Amino acid sequence: YHCVTAKLPSAEFLRICRGLEQFGGDTKVSASKEGITFSVQGDVGAGGVTLRPRESVKPGERVGLTVLEPVTATFALRYLEYFAKAAPLSEAVELGLGPGAPLSVKYDLGECDDGHVQLYLAPRTALPVRAPGK
């Protein structure tokens, strides 16, 4: 179901969402074996951040990426930022992406079996253009 699974520091996810908010309303998320990119094109300019896989002794600094096939999807930044506000719940957040599938945002609570919070956000789709008067 998810072709891409990314695990990254939740504080970094929150910083990315807040930073991109000043540029526009929709965020394009692209993931490949090289990394995961969050980009936005707005009225005042464009911005983007790419995270590459990196190891760390501290789990809150590690970026893990599993890619079965590259995926690109667009999501409403406003809702991504709402989801990112759950960052204090966990050191890391797990993102799941699939073509045409909702984005999965998962925060593990406490230790391994304490539970988790998992949120889903549907991708933006192109709206059909209507002819005037119809």
> Please, what are the domains in the chain?
4-121 (3.70.10.10)
Measured between alpha carbons, how far is 119 from 103 in angstroms, rounded to an integer?
8
Q: Are 43 and 26 in contact (CB under 8 A)?
A: no
> What pLDDT score was predicted for residue 125?
79
3-state SS class at 1: coil
Q: What is the pLDDT of residues 72-118, one digit of tens each?
A: 999 999 999 999 999 998 999 999 999 989 999 999 887 767 789 99
Q: What is the DSSP letter of 54?
A: B
> What pLDDT score was predicted for residue 6?
95
Token reading at 124: 């933006």
Provide φ and ψ at 95, rounded to 5°. Answer: -105, 135
Q: What is the pLDDT of residues 38-72, one digit of tens each?
A: 999 888 888 899 999 988 777 678 899 999 999 99
